[in-house]
Amino acid sequence: MAEQEHTRSVRQHTTAADDPAVTAALAAIGAAAYVVDDKGCIIAVNIRAQRLLARSAEELLGRDAHDLLHRDAHGHTIPASRCTMRPAFHARCTAQAAGEWFLRGDDSLLPVSWLLTPFGTGTQEATLVVFHRERPLAGDVHRPDSDPRPQPAAEGLTELERLALLAETTTTLTSTLDAQETQRRLVTLLVPRLADWAVIDLITEGAEVWRTAVVHAAGSALAHHEELEGPMPPVTEASAMPLSKALRGVASTLAGPTTYQGPPDSGIAVEQRRLFETTGIRSAAIVPLRSTRDVVGALTLGRGAERAAFTSGDLPLIEDIARRAALALDNARLYQRQRKVAQTMQSHLLPRLPSLGGLEMTARYLPAPDASQVGGDWYDAFRLSDGATALTIGDVVGHDLEAAAGMAQVRNMLRAYAWAHQDPPSRIVERLDEAVTHVTNVPMATMIFARVEREEPADWRLRWTNAGHPPPLLITRGGAAHYLNDGHGILLGTGTRTPRPDATVLLPPGSTLVLYTDGLIETHRDGLDEGLRRLGRHAAALAQRPLTVFADQLLRRVRPSDNDDDVALLALRTPAADDIG
């Protein structure tokens, strides 16, 4: 039973172990290390720890670290109430201790020194433990005069603290693709742990320099000084001042108020003098933010008179931190650039709605918040050669540029078939399905294709076929909502050639027809039925709102907060009876 419990526990604790950011952070630490969750169970471990402990990852993951490892000098189990890590673990603060013992897999005792520090995996709060083997003198199995209680980290970081900080920096900064959030996290990591002030200067894609953050440790809080932020003078090649050199990627430098007291050799030097005079920084370390591709900016850490001045020995650690920050900022920029390109492409692919006499129509498209910001959702509306109006909405499998390109292919082929053939919707979609299979790279897609035809004097008729898509929603002017579940067939791209059904319904005066994609109704928490129920309830409540307000409010009320899919919505409203002349 114990082995079965351990197996289940290992399965429950594989998320962090499989997280590339956590794996990379642990691998980068030059010492043995493991990560525990908020219950003290090991959720990730590096190879150095496995070797020192003579235990495989499978033997460690999911186990309570205290119960498995902690022993006294005689190999006896230590009660949890006497665990020296426990106070810092629960207080989520950094602590360290020496003269302790871990039990190895071969039942021998390992004398260790350890450091414990909070550690964010990106998905949960965790704690990092870094440890190394102590080498006591012969016969010195225990040092009773040593204090086993964890001591707070001193001003000068120990090697274990440096390694822990680098690991925390890696996981904290790589778990976001937002440049502003990356800067916020960087400042939080460094102030007040390493400095009283943190200043970030970034080089924009237009080669301008912007001072994006000037942050000061004000007690337990961080204070932002917006009056010192903003555009900076250009970087000059001739300037030999520390910030100019860092922004050119030339060198890291120590600086102080006297550094900028002489005649300025550039506009940036003038701004730096103002920074030192305003902040009272007495010692600063200025290092480049250099990614693998280019220099993205510079990081300045400053200390006041109450703290020890930076020394050249501090620069390697700050440079390592800056290198990791630069990679995170560069990745965020690349992501934002891709996002902008994708959104521009998507906006050009989506059509302008035609002007339809007597009918109101509006559409909305919302990209996925955390995906590649472009997908295969689309809508379309256009006049047909026989005077009817075509409506369509669909979703090509995928959330990338390839899905968007496939969406454009499907939409354009559908337009051509619908214009050239006055056939029922089912026959148009059957032709389209054949083409999708043979002349596109679209794997599969869902869609609704419909015709809206006027029936005198006041009614409009909807004829449609549904290829595996969520059903249309029809709301009367009085607020009665029901789904149009008829006309349902299989999705496109399966290779199955079965006849597709058609369906028809009258659209009464003042009624609203809603076509939408599944991103509007699907959530990670609730089932599809709950999403459809929620959509119908809110659509009915909004039945008499103006159509543009109806669409905006419907998206705001119904779109799930945990939505990770794009959403397309097409709404059509027939004229009310008193508007028909």
The whole-number pLDDT of residue 210 equals 95
Is 507 in a helix, a strand, or coil?
strand
Nearest Cα residue to 335 out of 293, 299, 376, 371: 371
Using one digit for the tens of pLDDT, what is the confidence trace for 551-568? 999 999 998 776 667 899
- Predicted pLDDT of residue 580: 53
Six-digit token string for 451: 């015709």
User: How is 289-313 classified by DSSP, letter by letter?
Assistant: EE-SS-EEEEEEEEE-TTSPPP-GG
Helices 159-174 and 179-190 meet at what angle, rounded to 10? 160
Which pLDDT value is given to residue 10? Answer: 44
CATH fold of 2-147? Beta-Lactamase (3.30.450)
* CA 197 to the chain's CA centroid: 28
pLDDT at 7: 44
- The amino acid sitting at 190 is L
Cα 276 from Cα 84, distance rounded (Å): 42
Q: Where in the chain is the domain with CATH 3.30.450.40?
A: 176-339
Q: What is the number of residues in the chain?
A: 581
Res 8: pLDDT:
46
Q: What is the residue-wise DSSP string for 212-231?
A: EEEEEEETTEEEE-GGG-EE
Which CATH homologous superfamily contains domain 352-579? Answer: PPM-type phosphatase domain (3.60.40.10)
The percent helix, strand, coil of the chain (3-state, each to 5) is 35, 25, 35
Are 555 and 567 contacting, i.e. CB atoms less than 8 angstroms apart?
Answer: yes
Residue among 550, 212, 571, 152 at smallest CA distance from 361: 571
Q: Provide the pLDDT for residue 437.
A: 81
- pLDDT for the residue numbered 142: 38
- The DSSP code for 545 is S
| pLDDT tens digits for range 359-384 | 899 999 887 765 445 667 889 999 99
At 496, list the tokens.
């199955």
What global pTM score does this model have?
0.58
Question: In the beta sheet, which residues pair with residue 463?
Answer: 451, 504
Ranges in the chain annotated CATH 3.30.450.20: 2-147
Alpha-carbon span 574 to 230, nearest angstrom: 52
Give the burial string for 222-260 (b: 16+ CB within 10 Å, else e). beebeebbeebbebbeebebbbbbbbbbeebbbbbbebb
Q: Quote the pLDDT of residue 140.
A: 39
Closest by alpha carbon to 247, among 228, 275, 266?
266
Strand order in the sheet with 360-366: 360-366, 567-573, 512-516, 473-475, 481-483
pLDDT attached to residue 108:
92
CATH 3.60.40.10-classified regions of the chain: 352-579
Residue ranges in the chain whose pLDDT is less than 70: 1-18, 121-123, 135-156, 341-349, 369-375, 398-401, 404, 457-458, 562-564, 578-581
Domain 176-339 CATH superfamily: GAF domain (3.30.450.40)
